[in-house]
Amino acid sequence: MSKLATLFLVCFCWPACINAQTASAEDDLASSIAGYADTVRAIIDAGRQGNDSYLKLQELCDDIGCRLSGSEELEQAIEWAQQSMKADGQENVHAEEVMVRKWVRGHESCEMIEPRHLPIEMLGLGGSLGTPDEGITAEVLVVDSQEELEALPNEQIKDKIVVFNFPMPRYSETKGSGYGTAVQYRTNGARWAAERGAKAALVRSVTAYSLNTPHTGAMRYSGGPDVPKIPAAAITIEGASLLARLQARGITPVVKLYMEARDEGEALSANVLGELVGSEKPEEIVVIGGHIDSWDVGTGAQDDGAGCVAAMEALNILRKLGLRPKRTIRVVLWTNEENGIAGALSYLNRHQDEVHVAGIESDSGGFSPEGLSIDMEDERKEEIAAEQLAEILKLLQPINATRVTTGFSGVDVGQLTSLGTACMGLQVDGRLYFNTHHTHADTVDKVDPQELTDCTITLAVAAWILADMPGRLGEE
Amino acid sequence: MSKLATLFLVCFCWPACINAQTASAEDDLASSIAGYADTVRAIIDAGRQGNDSYLKLQELCDDIGCRLSGSEELEQAIEWAQQSMKADGQENVHAEEVMVRKWVRGHESCEMIEPRHLPIEMLGLGGSLGTPDEGITAEVLVVDSQEELEALPNEQIKDKIVVFNFPMPRYSETKGSGYGTAVQYRTNGARWAAERGAKAALVRSVTAYSLNTPHTGAMRYSGGPDVPKIPAAAITIEGASLLARLQARGITPVVKLYMEARDEGEALSANVLGELVGSEKPEEIVVIGGHIDSWDVGTGAQDDGAGCVAAMEALNILRKLGLRPKRTIRVVLWTNEENGIAGALSYLNRHQDEVHVAGIESDSGGFSPEGLSIDMEDERKEEIAAEQLAEILKLLQPINATRVTTGFSGVDVGQLTSLGTACMGLQVDGRLYFNTHHTHADTVDKVDPQELTDCTITLAVAAWILADMPGRLGEE
């Protein structure tokens, strides 16, 4: 007999129990959660017997493609998501306008000129300026780290193209946390190089495995008015390590960088919302979602088409099963996560007076789900919520998505922590995620339909219980 | 005490041993091999204390680059290899001219036109014709296998671009043997499609893992005069599976293929040879080598720069140690392995009257060595040779390269089986080999210096013993 079943007997079938008074609110909640077992089984069965998450993913990614903020494709995706949720019968489906920055890549290239001619695969970084029309041709200076750059005298850096050859550790070594360190070079490398007089910055792509694969992503000019804004691009591991090997052998490579990248001002975009309205406390909201925008390469299938369609289809499964929770479950597809988070900030601003009980974002890819991470502003509440969440996820034992971690949720949903919301992120088997992250290879074939189904089920189950259970997550 | 040490005691230190007569030639050989233990230790130590295999790899691949038959770069590599072996003090260093076919890729592209515009990464297949100047634009027919194509009526195939979407199994499922099946589509797909009236053939790249990575390789027009020669290219897994998904949803994609590929007739190339001449039987040859040519993408680092430099540096280690075997060890760097094997055929023709005792080719990448595979024309001799080889490889226990397999050696060295030669292939940890095989990503960063060192040591040890031991491999 399971612990939960025992608790159920203790609380409901043994009124004379001398421990009744210590069968606290915690135990009450646990037993309430255990009471959802049949519904959870029904959700799992319904999802596995067939769902439209993979079809939705194809419609979004194969038919529309990549969806950079300000692009025509993102507008199509926003329209598609509304039509799709309306076709599913969701309530209050609509778009909420958001102004976003429109950055455009244009043509771009990187080639080694000396010691021999060789094209180097690259992707300009989002937010970067372009080069002059004639490009920037300069000697290369390769450094393995920021510290190595800092230690060099200015005259060795001035007028060079600085190459940051910092290697992101393998997933097996860091369980993904290596990204946090390596991405600093992508975000800040141009500033570090410009502060020392460099003409441009090339950053080794933020990945531990490359098949000549450049990874784009956002960069920032954060150095203040005295620091020149210089072009910044990601090059492949292959390119960066070639330049490093040449330099180590006493050869100074010369590289020509050409970029037409430019900011085209503001553009109109939108978040997309759709609801399963609650039966008893419709004003209390449980959000599930992902971000509808992507970079302008690949088709944004894992990042974050998978998150969007999993949330949309989770709601669809609940509706098809005729399940209507006490609270409202709201799908939110945020815009502009990749280069501005204007969507998340706009959502917060527009909806801050509503009661957001909980929010779950799926933005780590549609791989096999492992559980949920949770983040709350109040640490004590986060602790309680994590324990309650663990009870909820016990019901997901059939798909092994039972793990609770703390301290992070998602870039978009995380904005809601300021409202006291229990913010969560779907955690998945992340071994392959960063191989395709922000690349031409982030395409539908990387998403396994069964794994996407399990993500969808996890969202459906968690959203259902969070929206229907007696108390709120994090309440004692 | 090891079995070999025991045998040594039995055979040499116990003359009165009643089993002396059954201490057969086999045991004698085993004890002789065991006698090389100190030399093997010296070779391992010398290699690991520092060797030039990785420097040579950089000179070949970073400084010269890819080396397709008929290219200027291949000529440079042939010149470099001679200079490098001469600088190492090798004997009889020279090039032997070979006429090869010169196939040129030219500009090429593949793009989906319908249902939306999308470039598809591709590489024309070596030997393919180009398209007309205006390209070939046609509806796509995707099949998952040859059998599926065979089962379709001609009218469904006629004038289509046939896409063979056959997936190569993962290495973990087949230990690499999946390549043999999948590569049939690359080699023969154009013929199969042309026989049924198709205009062009696109083949899913022969790999189990892709980051939008096209893999080139050789194809053949083998269908006789009645079968039209149609252009053939490899597209990425991403591209092939997108077309397949669309077709499965009832959408007929239209693709435009453009290729300038052409045969430019014969060109002069060469095999490169260098020797450590034997002290007692210099006319008996042990060959070690790899192929100096590569495809025209990446820099041919694993395929087969690693094999070339491992063989060159193996000879260098032996010479630096002052080791001179009884037989001659000859490094052979064959040309044109990738698209014609003219180098191996020319070598066989030119040297068929010499006594080739053994040959080892390294053409599976410079990964951690696991042992040697052996192939001989005479099955009984192969069986004996495999047992003897196992004794030799026991001495490579410190680098775990002790495994003997049978039935294959290498494409080039394998030509010598017709001379009765014991032909061998260096076997390595092949998990990642086909990820980069014939791609832009086959670059020096994929080669670990320590693993390349261990390949070098394995070749040096095996060559040394095979060239110095009393009998020949495979002799009873």
Asked if A211 lies within 8 A of B245 by C-beta distance, the reply is: no
C-beta neighbour count of A475 within 10 angstroms = 14
- Residue of B57, B58, B62, B241 to mutate, testing the A interface (most A Cβ within 10 Å of its Cβ): B62
Active-site hit among B73, B337, B370, B382: B337
**How far away is chain A from the Cα of B54, in angstroms, using its nearest Cα?**
11
> For residues B345 and B351, what is the distance between their CA atoms, to the nearest angstrom?
10
* Alpha carbons B243 and B237: distance in angstroms, whole number: 10
Identify the CATH homologous superfamily for domain B36-101+266-468.
Zn peptidases (3.40.630.10)
Q: Residue B8: its pLDDT value, please?
A: 40
- Identity of the residue in A116, A121, A441 whose CB atom sits nearest the CB atom of B238: A441
Q: Measured between CB atoms, which of A115, A237, A298 is closest to B445?
A: A237
Chain B: nearest CA to A146, how far in angstroms?
22
For residue A282, which phi and psi values (nearest 5 degrees)? -65, -20
**What angle is formed at CA A458 by the lines to CA A453 and CA A464, rounded to 5 degrees?**
125
Nearest to A125 by CA among A172, A193, A79, A58: A193
Q: Does the predicted TM-score (pTM) go above 0.90?
A: yes
The domains of chain A are located at 36-101+266-468, 106-260
Cα dihedral angle (B15, B17, B20, B23), rounded to 10 degrees? -110
**Please, are residues B67 and B300 in contact by the beta-carbon 8 Å criterion?**
yes
What is the separation, in whole angstroms, between the first and last Cα of chain B?
Answer: 26
- Cβ contact B245–A58 (<8 Å): yes
Say which residues have a Cβ less than 8 Å from residue A172's Cβ, sequence separation at least 6: A431
- A304: preceding bond cis by omega (within 30 degrees): yes
Q: Could you tell me how far CA B228 lies from the centroid of its own chain? A: 31
> A373 CB near a chain B CB, below 8 Å?
no
Which residues neighbour B455 within 8 Å (Cβ) at sequence distance 6 or greater?
B53, B306, B310, B362, B366, B367, B369, B426, B428
Question: Mean pLDDT across the stretch B221-231?
Answer: 92
**Torsion of the alpha carbons at B84, B86, B89 and B92, rounded to the nearest 10:** 130
Q: Which residue has the tokens 């797909």?
A: B189
Q: Mind listing the pLDDT tens digit for each residue in A439-466?
A: 999 999 999 999 999 999 999 999 999 9
Q: What is the pLDDT of residue B175?
A: 73
Q: Which residues pair with B288 in a beta bridge?
A: B331, B360
Chain B positions touching A237 (Cβ under 8 A) are 445
Residue of A304, A233, A411, A265 lying closest to A66 (CA atoms): A304
> Which has the minimum average pLDDT: A345-359, B3-17, B109-123, B224-238?
B3-17
Residue A125: helix, strand or coil by DSSP?
Answer: coil
Interchain contact, A440 vs B58, CB within 8 Å = no
Kindly state whether A242 is in contact with chain B, defined as any CB-CB distance less than 8 angstroms. yes
Looking at residue A380, its amino acid is R
CB atoms within 10 A of CB A303: 27
User: Can you tell me the distance from the alpha carbon of B373 to that of B425, in angstroms, rounded to the nearest whole number?
Assistant: 5
How far apart CA A440 and CA B118 sit, in angstroms, is 12
Q: What is the predicted pLDDT for the residue at B176?
A: 67
User: What residue in B sits closest to A446 (Cα-Cα)?
Assistant: B238
pLDDT of residue A12: 41
Minimal C-alpha gap between A242 and chain B (Å): 7
Q: Which amino acid does the sequence have at B143? A: V
Cα distance from N-terminal residue to C-terminal residue, chain A: 26
- Say whether pLDDT at A61 is over 80: yes
Of B121, B210, B444, the CB nearest to A245: B444
| CB half-sphere exposure, B150, CA atoms < 13 A | 3
Task: Give the residue among A401, A411, A412 at the shortest CA–CA distance from A331.
Answer: A412
Q: How many CB atoms lie within 10 A of CB B418?
A: 11
Which chain B residues are Cβ-neighbours of A431 within 8 angstroms? none
Q: Which residues of B fall within a CB distance of 8 Å from A298?
A: 212
Asked if A242 and B64 touch (Cβ cutoff 8 Å), the reply is: no
Query: Touching check for A257 and chain B: CB below 8 Å?
Result: no
pLDDT score at A235: 98
A136-143 and A254-259 beta bridge pairing: antiparallel
What's the mean per-residue pLDDT of chain A? Answer: 94
A412 has a pLDDT exceeding 50: yes
At residue B69, does pLDDT exceed 80? Answer: yes
Task: Work out the minimum CA distance from A440 to partner chain B, whole angstroms.
Answer: 6
What's CA A34's distance to the chain center, in Å? Answer: 30
- For residues A74 and A12, which has the higher predicted lDDT (pLDDT)? A74
Contact (CB<8Å) B213/A210: no
Question: Given a cut of 60, is residue B135 above it in pLDDT?
Answer: yes
Nearest Cβ partner for B63 among A65, A115, A436: A115
Search chain B and give the residue with CA nearest A215: B211
Q: What is the pLDDT of residues A248-260, one digit of tens each?
A: 999 999 999 999 9
The predicted pLDDT at position A14 comes to 39
Contacts of B116 in chain A (CB under 8 A): 63, 65
Question: Which residues of A carry out catalysis?
Answer: 337
Q: Report the residue of chain B nearest A213, measured CA to CA.
A: B211
Give the mutation candidate from B122, B297, B445 for the A interface (greatest A CB count, under 10 A). Answer: B445
Q: Is the four-CA dihedral B185, B186, B192, B198 of positive or negative sign?
A: positive
Most A CBs within 10 Å: which of B212, B249, B440, as the mutation test of the A interface?
A: B212
The 10s digit of each residue's pLDDT in A171-210 is 878 776 789 999 999 999 999 999 999 999 999 999 999 9
Is the preceding peptide bond at B304 cis, omega within 30 degrees of 0?
A: yes
**pLDDT surpasses 50 at B394:** yes
Q: What is the pLDDT of residues A296-352, one digit of tens each?
A: 999 999 999 999 999 999 999 999 999 999 999 999 999 999 999 999 999 999 999
Whether residue B337 lies in the annotated active site:
yes
What average pLDDT does the segment A81-103 reach?
98
Quick check: helix, strand or coil at residue A16? Answer: coil
- DSSP letter (8 states) at residue A444: G
Please check the confidence at residue B242 and state whether its pLDDT lies above 50.
yes
Task: Assign 3-state DSSP to chain B and report helix, strand, coil percentages, each to 5.
Answer: 40, 25, 35
pLDDT in tens, A15-32: 434 344 445 677 788 899
CA distance B402 to chain A (A): 28
Check CB contact under 8 Å for B211 and A121: no
Predicted local confidence at residue A23, as pLDDT? 53
Would you tell me which residues 114-133 of chain A have a C-beta closer than 8 angstroms to some C-beta of chain B?
115-116, 118, 121
Give the B window 280-309 contacts with A, CB below 8 Å: 298
- Show residues of chain B in contact with A121, CB under 8 Å: 440
Q: What mean pLDDT do residues B312-316 have?
A: 98
**pLDDT confidence band for B23 (50 / 70 / 90):** low
Q: Which residues of B touch A215 (CB under 8 A)?
A: none
Give percent of chain A with pLDDT exceeding 70: 95
Chains A, B: CB contacts within 8 A come to 79
How close B249 gets to chain A, by Cα (Å)?
9
Residue B293 has pLDDT above 90, yes or no: yes
pLDDT at A152 over 50: yes
| pLDDT, position A2 | 43
Amino acid identity for residue B53 in this structure: S
Q: How many Cα atoms sit within 13 Å of A356 on the Cβ side?
A: 28
Q: Tell me if residue B397 falls in helix, strand or coil.
A: helix
Q: Which of B237, B246, B441 sits opposite A210 (nearest CB)?
A: B441
| Tokens describing residue B146 | 């040859």
Contacts of B435 in chain A (CB under 8 A): 211
* pLDDT value for B45: 98
Question: Is B344 in contact with B437 (CB distance < 8 Å)?
Answer: no
Whole-angstrom CA distances from A435 to A440, A448, B208, B211 are 11, 15, 15, 8
- pLDDT attached to residue A312: 99
Q: What's the rounded mean pLDDT across residues A76-84?
A: 98
Output A18 or A425, whichever has higher pLDDT.
A425
| Chain A, window 306-365: residues with a beta carbon less than 8 angstroms from a chain B beta carbon | none
Residue of A nearest to B240 (CA): A445
Interface test with B, best of A59, A238, A444 (most B CBs within 10 A): A238
| Topology of the domain comprising A106-260 | Glucose Oxidase; domain 1 (3.50.30)
The pLDDT value given to residue B29: 86
Task: Check pLDDT > 50 for residue B128.
Answer: yes
**In chain B, which residues have their Cβ closer than 8 Å to the Cβ of A436?**
211
Q: Report how far residue A140's alpha carbon sits from residue A2's, in angstroms, rounded to the nearest whole number.
A: 64
Nearest to A241 among B246, B436, B445 (CB): B445
Contacts of A111 in chain B (CB under 8 A): none
- Given a cut of 90, whether residue A1 has pLDDT beyond it is no
A213 to chain B, minimum CA–CA distance in Å? Answer: 7
Do B116 and A58 make contact, defined as CB atoms within 8 angstroms? Answer: no
* pLDDT(A11) > 60: no
| Chain A interface includes B448 (CB < 8 A) | no
Residue A221: what are its φ and ψ, rounded to 5°? -95, 95
Q: Which residues of B touch A123 (CB under 8 A)?
A: none
